[in-house]
Structure 1
Amino acid sequence: MDLSTGQPRPVSRHWRVTGWLLAAVWLFFLNVPLATALHQPAPWRRLVGVAALVAFSVGYVLLFQWARKLRQSLLPIPVGRARAGLLLLFAVGLASMPGTGGDWLATLVYVAAAAVFLLPLGESLAVVVLCAVTPVLTSELVAGWEAEHGIVFAVLLASFAMFGVSQLAQRNSELRAAQQEIGRLAVAEERARAARDLHDILGHSLTVVAIKAELAGRLLDVDRERAAAEIAEVEALARTALADVRQTVGAYREVSLAAELAGARSALAAAGIAADVSTEVPELPQQWDQLFGWAVREGVTNVVRHSGARCCVIRVRPDRVEVSDDGRGPSTPDPSGHGLVGLRERARRLDAAVTVGKRPEGDGFLLRVHAPEDAR
């Protein structure tokens, strides 16, 4: 499947040629009725016999390829059209009788095989039985025709073989459908992951940019130097956010706990929220350092955006990180928002737990990410 379009990849030329050969190679067994037609003394019988057999061969191959193409495209075979095609195929085979005599019964092998490939199981079984008993019945009804037990055996053998082919084709179709669904889900998951990453990156950065820009606007008439400094930080944050987006698109976005703690101090200060941040960062494995960094980023973003807090506390330990505030509490930020969903998914990859709720001390919001027991 082509993930860029969500459509099945075209079948290669090699497999198209193989499909035609698979249908045509079995026509070799029409050599007996063809030889009979060619040895007819009457020219019109030769012409009718050869023309009918050629038309029968072409019709059989086209019918087989039509059904095969539908199966490859994961489309159902229209039963009505399949029945009409089989009736027409049988009629053309029957029309060869003036030139082939009793050898026209060889065409029933192909009618039975096509029925197995085209029709539902019950109908195909009925067609196979009719094709198998026809040679026996005609030997009793038509003078001079001998019982064609070889045709009966060929009908049964070809039908059994085609049943195996049809089951294989069905399983291949189901496998292709499953592969397409997996591919579609992979594309959807990748899009959702990219959306969460962009939310986590830009949500934090743009929140801080908005706060600093608002602060600079208030300071413009009061303290131009500080306002200029805030504007310079806004420019730096915007450039950093742009670089982060480029890194995310390039699939090598990395977050570090130390950098996020430093960014948290700056963001909280710009929002006028007192920051109580751990000064020492423990040595952590890279995956835990990144996870704790994402937790700090998401927690501080929610504090700045939603809490109305006066103080934010960030504590980092070897087995956990906590971001808490004294604001309006856990009902303000949406626990099902993109940021928390992305954080939970990152934590799940490491079997870590994310806790969101009210602080034990009273009012306020607490976000905690902690490692499982066996990782401590």
Structure 2
Amino acid sequence: MVTTVAFAAVYMLLWVRARADRQRLVVDPALGWSLAYVGALVGLAALTVWCVGEPGLACAVYVSVACVMVFPLRVSAPIAVGLVLGAIALSAVEGWGSQVGTAFAIMAASVAVFGLRAVMTRNIDLVNAQIENARLAVDNERTRFARDLHDILGHSLTVITVKAELAQKLLDVDVERARAEIADLERLSRDALADVRRAVEGYRDISLPGELVRARVALRAAEISAEIPNSTDEVPSELRELFAWTVREGVTNVIRHSRATHCEVRLAPDRAEVVDDGTAIPSPDGHGSGLAGLRERAADVGATVVTRQLEPGFSLSVVRR
């Protein structure tokens, strides 16, 4: 009686451990624990058979179940088959009846518990997949936010810097114009703050007409002549946001890097292009965090970013074919 109770208590540890492993999303228990556990269970089963005789063979069913739960199929399957054959062989023991029923119980219980473990494993895999998807969603949102923040602040701070330099030069030459530039600095700073707030709130609602106006103001402040369309009517609605980002990125790069004297923005139903006559040579592969963000946005609507070195100048365009 004592050995039977001890065997039952040790056997129940299996399900306590299985529940804990499931909560920790552990598929396979540690090998050391599994070997020690099955060893203890086999020892108690043998002791039970020695104490009570033939009825103790029922322990073989639980030993098989335990092996299926803690070992991989390639290990547990041979053990279950061995227990089935062993039970049949014990039918020859004098005074013991046929053990076919015990063999069938071992086989049926092993198959059933294998199915149960498969379901538990799939559930754990599903939970892990959901966790990974959530992590990727957070990473994607961080990437989006970093990209938007770069695009927004990169453009705004570039214009603010240019206007601050111009105001500094005008202080001793044209005080009234210097005051106007300083007033523009305040307005641009407020606009940048509003853009950052929109980015933090998850919005990216820039407008193409607004970017054309900003481009004209920024290029004039940088003393670069501008040729910018007054109408955006021919641009499809689904491309307006992308083309707005194209104008922002292109004009920002012209002001920052090109040393240009003239810049032209061209709009068409299927493309937006920013062309300058600068002498600065951009990076040969056209890479940068701003361009990388523009490429991601273009890919979302089936468009392509194209950069070309001109003689002289540089062209940045986004084209949907």
With the length of structure 2 as denominator, give the TM-score of the two structures.
0.92
Structure 1 residue 325: deviation in Å?
Answer: 0.4
Separation of aligned partners in 1, 2:226 and 2:284? 19
Structure 1 residue 155: deviation in Å?
Answer: 0.1
Deviates more, 1:84-93 or 1:179-188: 179-188
Structure 1 residue 242: deviation in Å?
Answer: 1.0
Structure 1 residue 104: deviation in Å?
Answer: 1.3
- Which deviations, in whole Å up to 9, do the C-alpha atoms of 1:123-169 show, x marking residues without a partner? 2123212322333344434x422232211110010111122222223
Which residues in structure 2 correspond to 1:211-222 (within 5 Å)?
211-222=162-173
**Quick one: which amino acid aligns to residue 101 of structure 2?**
G
Structure 1 residue 81: deviation in Å?
Answer: 1.8
Question: Aligned pair in 2 of structure 1 residues 155, 197: CA closer, same or farther (>3 Å)?
Answer: same
Structure 1 residue 273: deviation in Å?
Answer: 1.0
**Quick one: which amino acid aligns to residue 87 of structure 1?**
G
Which residues in structure 2 correspond to 1:1-376 (within 5 Å)?
49=1, 51-71=2-22, 73-74=25-26, 76-97=28-49, 100-141=52-93, 143-328=94-279, 331-332=282-283, 335-359=286-310, 362-372=311-321
Determine helix, strand or coil for the equivalent of 2:112: helix
- Which deviations, in whole Å up to 9, do the C-alpha atoms of 1:217-240 show, x marking residues without a partner? 222222222222111111111111
Unaligned runs of 5+ in 1: 1-48
- Which deviations, in whole Å up to 9, do the C-alpha atoms of 1:155-211 show, x marking residues without a partner? 010111122222223333333333332222222111111110111111100111111
Deviates more, 1:170-179 or 1:315-324: 170-179
**Quick one: which amino acid aligns to residue 66 of structure 1?**
R
Question: Aligned pair in 2 of structure 1 residues 113, 157: CA closer, same or farther (>3 Å)?
Answer: same
Separation of aligned partners in 2, 1:111 and 1:192? 52
- Alpha-carbon RMSD across the aligned residues, in angstroms, is 2.1
Determine helix, strand or coil for the equivalent of 1:275: strand
Separation of aligned partners in 1, 2:148 and 2:242? 13
Deviates more, 1:55-64 or 1:93-102: 93-102
Determine if contact 1:322/1:366 at 8 Å carries over to the other structure: yes
Determine if contact 1:307/1:332 at 8 Å carries over to the other structure: no
Separation of aligned partners in 2, 1:308 and 1:76? 63
**Quick one: which amino acid aligns to residue 39 of structure 2?**
L
Determine helix, strand or coil for the equivalent of 1:366: strand
Separation of aligned partners in 2, 1:334 and 1:213? 32
Separation of aligned partners in 1, 2:149 and 2:113? 53
- Which deviations, in whole Å up to 9, do the C-alpha atoms of 1:234-280 show, x marking residues without a partner? 11111111111111111222111110000001111111111111123
**Quick one: which amino acid aligns to residue 210 of structure 1?**
T
Determine helix, strand or coil for the equivalent of 1:116: helix
Separation of aligned partners in 1, 2:285 and 2:82? 68
Separation of aligned partners in 2, 1:69 and 1:233? 63
**Percent of matched pairs sharing the same residue:** 46
Determine helix, strand or coil for the equivalent of 2:266: strand
Determine helix, strand or coil for the equivalent of 1:96: helix
Structure 1 residue 97: deviation in Å?
Answer: 3.9
Structure 1 residue 329: deviation in Å?
Answer: 5.2
Determine helix, strand or coil for the equivalent of 2:53: helix
Determine if contact 1:201/1:245 at 8 Å carries over to the other structure: yes
Deviates more, 1:328-337 or 1:220-229: 328-337
